[in-house]
Amino acid sequence: MFRGFALLLAPAIAFGGWDAGAAAKYLDGRAAQWAAWKPAAREGGPCISCHTSLGYALARPMLRSKLGEAAPTPFETGLIAGARVRAGSAVQKPIDPAKDNTPLVMTALTLSLDDARCGAELKPQTEEALKAMWAAQKREGPQRGAWGWTNAHLEPWEVEESPFFGAVLAAVAVGNAPGGYASRPNVQTNIAEMRAFLSADREKQPLANRLALLWAGAHMEGLVSNAERGRILDAAWKTQNKDGGWTLEALGPWRHRDGAPEIAAGSNAYATAWAMFMLERAGVSTKDRKMRRGLAWLAAHQNPEGYWDAASMNKKYPEGEMPRLFMRDATTAFAVMALEVNSFEPEKDAR
């Protein structure tokens, strides 16, 4: 469905109080910077990161539809093409489950979602990516059923709790893989161990991770019971501010990092975008009054340059450094996906 390398430069168009064209321009600009950044270079193209390129791969197709663009951007096709190259290489190399295998999960997720979005059968490279992902799954120890995940002591994606988030992404990959992949007999043991890991100690996870579990649960029957879904939703609604947003603290707890930028009090764009995206994926109707308040908050807090702002939770980066905008990149992608679900119109519905 979405093939080709042409980039149709649509003018900025405002939809329901937020500017999709400006958001696309910001995300495309950051994708270009990511593609040119040497630390992101991998075989076949730039790596898929939790902060910049994964959000881009998820959000940009939604903007393309909204803006009436006929083809994916070169950065989208480049990310997918690189992931397919690495998927083919991964199965040719020894895989050690004891190592950091974040890239294998991210590759499987990106290709699985791309196949599902295009309405295609599971492509050979996606088969290879999933095979490599399962080969990297831990089969013993306290993290049995999970994957070795990057722990650079960087909130919110590269910390001690992050293997849980990684397993959520793996579950989303499996649940979205077309062609009845999740019912194949040869992957049932892997899936069962992944489920077991996600079931253990989930109450100890930050609310951000428990909300993400709802995303996986929407694609994997029985992963989250109705009772637990209700408890997670209750926790989310109890921490929603009167203005419709969420504070960053509400999605924690997070570790204090000396030297991190001071986070402004009150509702936070990253926390609100994350919560709204996960709640929508959990099936909460955007007609719900609390949901509409959250969407209204997001629509009202887009910067004129297209992004939703957020600062690092870990350190102050000098102006111009690539990592300085990582949280802004993720926030913008999740805000776009939250707002685009039902073409939210705050001027009509947020009363």
CA neighbor of 112 nearest in space, from 218, 4, 219: 219
pLDDT of residue 16: 57
Q: What percent of the chain has pLDDT over 90?
A: 85
DSSP states along 307-319: ------SS-PPPT
pLDDT of residue 342: 53
* Token pair for 112: 């699985």
pLDDT in tens, 2-35: 222 222 223 333 335 899 999 999 999 999 999 9
Q: Structural domains in the chain?
A: 18-349 (1.50.10.20)
pLDDT of residue 271: 98
pLDDT in tens, 222-278: 999 999 999 999 999 999 999 999 999 999 999 989 889 988 899 999 999 999 999
- Regions of the chain where pLDDT drops below 70: 1-16, 342-351
One-letter amino acid at 94 equals P
DSSP states along 90-112: HTTS---TTS--HHHHHHHHHHH
CA neighbor of 127 nearest in space, from 138, 112, 116: 112
**What residue spans of 136-265 are helical by DSSP H?**
162-176, 188-199, 207-217, 226-239
Does residue 222 come out as left (phi exceeding 0), alpha (psi in the -120 to 50 range) or beta? left
pLDDT of residue 39: 96
Determine phi and psi for 18, rounding to 5 degrees: -130, 155
Residue with tokens 């805000």: 335
pLDDT of residue 304: 96
Q: Using CA atoms, how far apart are residues 275 and 246, in angstroms rounded to an integer?
A: 8
